[in-house]
Amino acid sequence: MRALFYSIKGGQGKTTHAVSYAKHARLRLVTNDHQNGTLEIYGGVFPPGHLTAVRPEDSFDPLRHPDTVFDFAGYLDGRVIAAARASDVCVVPVCFQSTADMVPAISTVRALLKLNPNVTVVINNTERDVIPLVREILGEQFPDLPVFVVNKSRYVWRLADEGRTLLELVTLGGLYEHTLRKMIPQVEALYRHLDRFRYRAEVDRTAFEPIRLFGGLR
Ligand SMILES: Nc1ncnc2c1ncn2[C@@H]1O[C@H](COP(=O)(O)OP(=O)(O)O)[C@@H](O)[C@H]1O
Ligand SMILES: [Mg+2]
pLDDT digits (tens, 9 = 90+) for 83-135: 999 999 999 999 999 989 999 999 999 999 999 999 999 999 999 999 999 99
Report CA(34)–ligand 2 centroid distance (Å): 9
Residues of the chain with pLDDT under 50: 218
Distance CA 21, CA 167 (A): 9
Report CA(118)–ligand 2 centroid distance (Å): 21
Look at the chain and count its residues: 218
**CA 192 to centroid of chain Cα atoms:** 13
Q: Which positions ≥6 away from 45 have C-beta within 8 Å?
A: 19, 23, 51, 160, 163, 164, 165
Ligand 1 first shell, C-beta below 6 A: 10-16, 124-125, 150, 152-153, 156-157
Q: Where are the domains of the chain?
A: 2-217
Max alpha carbon distance in the chain (Å)?
63
pLDDT score recorded for residue 128:
93
Q: By the 8 A CB rule, do 88 and 117 touch?
A: no
Q: Which positions ≥6 away from 38 have C-beta within 8 Å?
A: 15, 31, 51, 53, 71
Report CA(210)–ligand 2 centroid distance (Å): 39
Nearest ligand for residue 53 CA:
2
**CATH code given to domain 2-217:** 3.40.50.300
Report CA(89)–ligand 1 centroid distance (Å): 20
| Of 90, 125, 151, 154, best ligand 1 pocket probe by most atoms within 8 Å of the beta carbon | 125
pTM over 0.85: yes
Work out which ligand 1 atom sits closest to the CA atom of 93.
22
pLDDT score recorded for residue 218:
46
Q: By the 8 A CB rule, do 92 and 6 touch?
A: yes
